[in-house]
Amino acid sequence: TSDFSQYTLGYDIPALPGMKVEEVQTPALIVDLDAFDHNLLKMRDEIAKYGVRHRAHCKMHKSAEIAKLQMEQGHACGVCCQKVSEAETLARAGITDIMVSNEVCDPYKIDRLAQLPKLGVRILVCTDNLPNIAALSEAAVKQGTELEVLVELDCGGSRCGVADSAAVLELATAIIAAPNLRFAGIQSYQGAAQHAYEYADRKALMDTAITITKDAVDLLESKEIHCDIVGGGGTGSYPFEAASGVFNELQCGSYLFMDADYRRVKDKDGQYLPAFEHALFLLTSIMSTDIDGQAVCDAGLKAHSIDTGPPEVFERPDLQSLDYSDEHGVLKDPQNTLKINDKIKLVPGHCDPTCNLHDWYVGVRGGVVETLWHVTARGKFY
Ligand code: PLP
Ligand code: MN
> How many CA atoms does the CB half-sphere of 185 hold within 13 Å?
18
Cα dihedral sign, 345-350-355-356: negative
Ligand 1 atom, smallest distance to 235 CA? 16
**Separation of 153 CA from ligand 1 center, angstroms?**
15
Q: Whose CA is nearest to atom 1 of ligand 1?
A: 251
**Tens digits of residue pLDDT in 282-341:** 999 999 999 999 999 999 999 999 999 999 999 999 999 999 999 999 999 999 999 999
CA distance 91 to 87: 6
Residues, CB-to-ion distance under 5 Å, ligand 2: 352
Which three-class secondary structure state does DSSP give residue 282? Answer: strand
Q: Is the CB of 187 under 6 A from ligand 1?
A: no
Ligand 1 atom, smallest distance to 238 CA? 16
Q: Is the CB of 285 under 6 A from ligand 1?
A: no
Extended beta strands in the chain, E state: 28-32, 53-57, 78-81, 97-103, 122-127, 147-152, 181-187, 229-232, 249-250, 280-288, 294-297, 312-313, 320-324, 329-332, 343-347, 360-365, 368-374
Which three-class secondary structure state does DSSP give residue 313? Answer: strand
Q: What is the average pLDDT score of the chain?
A: 97
CA distance 96 to 91: 6
Confidence band of 5 (pLDDT split at 50, 70, 90) = very high
Confidence band of 203 (pLDDT split at 50, 70, 90) = very high
Report the pLDDT value the prediction gives residue 275, as an integer from 0 to 100.
Answer: 86
Q: Whose CA is nearest to atom 5 of ligand 1?
A: 191
**Tens digits of residue pLDDT in 251-269:** 999 999 999 999 999 988 8
Report the pLDDT value the prediction gives residue 273, as an integer from 0 to 100.
Answer: 73
**Tens digits of residue pLDDT in 112-137:** 999 999 999 999 999 999 999 999 99
**Separation of 159 CA from ligand 2 center, angstroms?**
15
Phi, psi dihedrals of residue 141, rounded to the nearest 5°: -65, -45
ipTM of the complex: 0.99
Report the pLDDT value the prediction gives residue 271, as an integer from 0 to 100.
Answer: 75
**Tens digits of residue pLDDT in 144-200:** 999 999 999 999 999 999 999 999 999 999 999 999 999 999 999 999 999 999 999
Ligand 1 atom, smallest distance to 254 CA? 14
20-30 as b/e, with b when 16 or more CB fall inside 10 Å?
ebeebbbbbbb
